[in-house]
Amino acid sequence: MWDYSDKVREHFFNPRNSGPLTDANGIGDVGSIKCGDALRLMLKVNPESEIIEDAHFQTFGCGSAIASSSALTEMIKSKTLDQALQVSNQDIADYLDGLPPEKMHCSVMGREALHAAVANYRGEAWQDDHEEGDLVCKCFAIDAVMIEETIRGNHLKTMADVTNYTKAGGGCSACHEKIEDILIAVNGRLYSSDAPQKGKTAPVESPVKPKLTNYQRIRKIEETLEAIRPMLQRDHGDVTLVEVDGKKIYVALSGACQGCQMESATLGGIQQKLIEALGELLQVLPVGALATG
Amino acid sequence: MMTPIYMDNNATTACDPAVVEAMLPFFTEQFGNASSIHSFGEQVGKALKEARGRVQNLLGAAHDSEIVFTSCGTESDSTAILSALKANPERRTIITTVVEHPAILTLCDYLEKEGVVVQRLRVDKRGRIDLDEYKSLLSERVALVSAMWANNETGTLFPVEEMAEMAHEKGIPFHTDAVQAVGKVPIDLKSTRIDMLSCSGHKLHAPKGIGVLYLRRNTRFRPLLRGGHQERGRRAGTENSASIVGLGVACELAQQHMETENTTVKALRDRLQRGILAKVNNAFVNGDTVHRLPNTASIAFEYVEGEGILLLLNKQGIAASSGSACTSGSLEPSHVMRAMGIPYTAAHGTIRFSLSRYNTEEEVDRVIAAVPPIIAQLRKLSPYWSVDGPVESPERAFKPAYA
């Protein structure tokens, strides 16, 4: 259960000014039924003085949505419209002795309902200028929209960049995958947090494996074998690529690998690495198999 | 405050006192490592064997070696799925359903990013899958089918035995997340084609932190945790002996109470459901009410939001849970409600009551009395509600700007 302040609980259990206001002359309906929070704020404004003489709410939403609505009506009553519009969502949260970060949107909804109701009273169109994404970093309360905009605006490439610019990800590390997903969505791929090596910008494994051309595929096979070679060389062996025939990859084992009892195990290991690197099923065979057809 | 009423047994259960009692010696004099040769270890080893036999009995497994102890249901699920992919590298597809527990769905989402093809069976308004659609997806590319035995939110039972049979005909291994089913419905794995099954201790009055993976003999398998030879090398790590012993006792008790569960507990659940629906209008039961766990009632209260209901129930000492995920930090209603096409205005107001053999008729009657005024109180605040019913065409009368 949420760690609600006593004030939130109190306003939830005993909401002020709830229910319809029959002679309202300014009404604001905001929120999202999908997200399970929606609020109708009703104002009775004195046309002479522009003082809010009464304010009521009806809310479909969680405990803190109801408490925020109740708090808002208390805060704006007997204020002038202009004074009321000064109320920020933080003011609403402060009035309630704070809201959990995941529930701050309830106070935002309150402020928006106020703006919508005032616009309605004044006969203006109210524009929803608020954009809120999923909360990504809970340590520092940074949402997805904020992270995405910061990445775009500053051409950020790595997880570390995002933390430096937004603080997101600088705490418990739980959101690193989500932040990386946003980086991939914006940049098309994920850059390693290490400084790029000279001569090549090494992307850390793109999540979507594009179909390779024959040339790219053979290069990839070569790169993978290159990575395996040091291990074999440690055991005084080696491997070279001889032929690529569709799904059949022919290699020559040399040095200590040649004729080793572990030869088939070694080939199996190479095969596994290649399958992982290319994301396709293939077979690694010794060069002898090529000769005998 | 009145004595609390616990009706959230699908979330977790109270440890049975007999379970606790059986566990206690394993924190004190029976502290040995089951792997040790000396007498300290030997006695623990015997206790583990006995517990394994009790789990085997409850699951109706053919051999006690098919029982692998893990740390939780999630670990069992992860082990099953990752093992199937590893053991069948040429097969890169997983079939599951849209209403699985996050232990399955989150892992599948992750695997999808790694290139695994995940096919998620949809459900109808009652939460049922279409077996014809399922059949059409079975192919030689499928590494594993994973479908839950019983849904945690609605209690809906899937025909997993039939599904396992169909998968078997195509040579596809079948896993079921039976975390909610074990101990509540009779299970006899040896007479099925189920290859792997996940179970969690704390859902059947054993402690938290102990789970089981049933692994049918001769199923291709790769361990998740490698290390020592515990669980025959299928799950390394020193055995959680106290919890294993506790789970053994819990399984024995579950078997003894299986009939109670399906008669007495079921009758209490039905009484609760009937009682609430008789007094609250614009409310309905979610899921497949014909094929359903005996202890679960998921009730949607239209035009109010679940968290408020829970807070007000909690004030009266009644513990239940909400079908909306707002309580867990995300704002969308639960994926299960959305999958069944429950409208947002009802999905957000869904409450799950899940009973156990410890609940009484008196408790049920107290809940029946408590719920209607709570719903009325919240509806009074709702922009969709008029005096004693929803406003006329609610979706048109209240159309909030998307924020």
**Could you say which of B256, B289, B321 is where a domain stops?**
B256
Calculate the average pLDDT of chain A: 85
Same domain for B306 and B246: no
Residue (of A208, A132, A131, A146) closest to A179 by Cα position? A146
Q: Taking the CA of residue B279 as centre, how many other CA atoms within 13 Å lie in the half-sphere pointing to its CB?
A: 16
> How wide is the angle at C-alpha B178 spanned by C-alphas B174 and B182, nearest 5°?
135
How far is B353 from chain A, CA to nearest CA, in Å? 16
How far is B113 from chain A, CA to nearest CA, in Å? 6
Domain membership flag for residue B47: yes
**Residues paired with residue A80 on neighbouring β-strands, in sequence order:** A51
Q: Is the dihedral of CA B145, B150, B155, B156 positive or negative?
A: positive
Residue whose token pair is 């206690």:
B24
* Alpha-carbon A119 to chain mean position: 33
Helix or strand (DSSP H, E) at B84: helix B73-87
Residue numbers in A near B399 (CB within 8 A): 29
Helix or strand (DSSP H, E) at B338: helix B335-339
Is residue A72 a contact partner of residue A110, using CB atoms and an 8 Å limit? Answer: yes
How many domains does chain B divide into? 2
How far is B349 from chain A, CA to nearest CA, in Å? 9
Same domain for B283 and B252: no
Is a pLDDT exceeding 70 seen at residue A130? Answer: no
Residue (of B291, B297, B197, B205) closest to B248 by Cα position? B205
Same domain for B335 and B285: yes
Residue B81: its pLDDT value, please?
A: 98
Residue A270: its pLDDT value, please?
A: 86
Same domain for B203 and B300: no
Domain A214-291 CATH (choose: 3.30.300.130, 1.10.260.40, 3.40.367.20, 3.30.43.10): 3.30.300.130
Token pair, residue A19, equals: 């229910």
Residue type for A48, please?
E
SS3 (DSSP) at A286: strand
Same domain for B62 and B198: yes
Domain ranges of chain A: 6-122, 135-187, 214-291
Same domain for B308 and B208: no
The CATH code of the domain that includes B317 is 3.90.1150.10
**Residues paired with residue A243 on neighbouring β-strands, in sequence order:** A250
Same domain for B118 and B265: no
**Could you say which of B256, B287, B319 is where a domain stops?**
B256
Is residue B111 a contact partner of residue B118, using CB atoms and an 8 Å limit? Answer: yes
Domain membership flag for residue B7: no
Same domain for B221 and B267: no
A36-45, A96-105, A283-292, B76-85: range with highest mean pLDDT: B76-85
Helix or strand (DSSP H, E) at A39: strand A37-45
Task: Determine, for residues A13 and B315 on separate chains, whether the beta-carbon distance falls below 8 Å.
Answer: yes
Helix or strand (DSSP H, E) at B276: helix B266-279
Average pLDDT, integer, range A74-88 = 95
The CATH code of the domain that includes B33 is 3.40.640.10
Is residue B57 a contact partner of residue B255, using CB atoms and an 8 Å limit? Answer: yes
Pick the residue of A1, A56, A62 with the most B CBs within 10 A to test the interface with B by mutation.
A62
Note whether B308 contacts A: Cβ–Cβ < 8 A: yes
Task: Determine, for residues A58 and B383 on separate chains, whether the beta-carbon distance falls below 8 Å.
Answer: yes
Predicted confidence band of residue A279 (pLDDT cuts 50, 70, 90): confident
Residue type for B30, please?
Q
Token pair, residue A267, equals: 């080939």
Q: What's the residue count for chain B?
A: 403
pLDDT per position as a tens digit, A158-214? 998 898 888 888 888 889 999 999 999 999 888 876 554 444 444 444 444 557 788
Same domain for B219 and B209: yes
Residue A129: its pLDDT value, please?
A: 60
Active site residues of B: 326
Residue whose token pair is 């704002």:
B331
Domain membership flag for residue B3: no
Residue (of A91, A94, A20, A84) closest to A58 by Cα position? A20
Rounded to an integer, what distance in angstroms lies between the CA atom of residue A169 and that of residue A174? 7
Q: Which residue has the higher pLDDT, A267 or A77?
A: A77
Same domain for B279 and B138: no
Same domain for B237 and B211: yes
Token pair, residue B398, equals: 């209240």
Is residue B224 a contact partner of residue B196, using CB atoms and an 8 Å limit? Answer: no
Same domain for B175 and B298: no
The CATH number that domain A6-122 falls under is: 3.90.1010.10
The CATH number that domain A135-187 falls under is: 1.10.10.1100
Range of the domain at B326: 258-397
Residue whose token pair is 């004595």:
B3
Domain membership flag for residue B88: yes
Residue (of A257, A208, A223) closest to A237 by Cα position? A257
Domain membership flag for residue B10: no
Q: What's the residue count for chain A?
A: 293
**Could you say which of B256, B285, B303 is where a domain stops?**
B256
Per-residue pLDDT 10s for chain B (403 aa) are 579 999 999 999 999 999 999 999 999 999 999 988 898 999 999 999 999 999 999 999 999 999 999 999 999 999 999 999 999 999 999 999 999 999 999 999 999 999 999 999 999 999 999 999 999 999 999 999 999 999 999 999 999 999 999 999 999 999 999 999 999 999 999 999 999 999 999 999 999 999 999 999 999 999 999 999 999 999 999 999 999 999 999 999 999 999 999 999 999 999 999 999 999 999 999 999 999 999 999 999 999 999 999 999 999 999 999 865 444 455 678 899 999 999 999 999 999 999 999 999 999 999 999 999 999 999 999 999 988 888 888 878 888 876 4
Domain membership flag for residue B275: yes
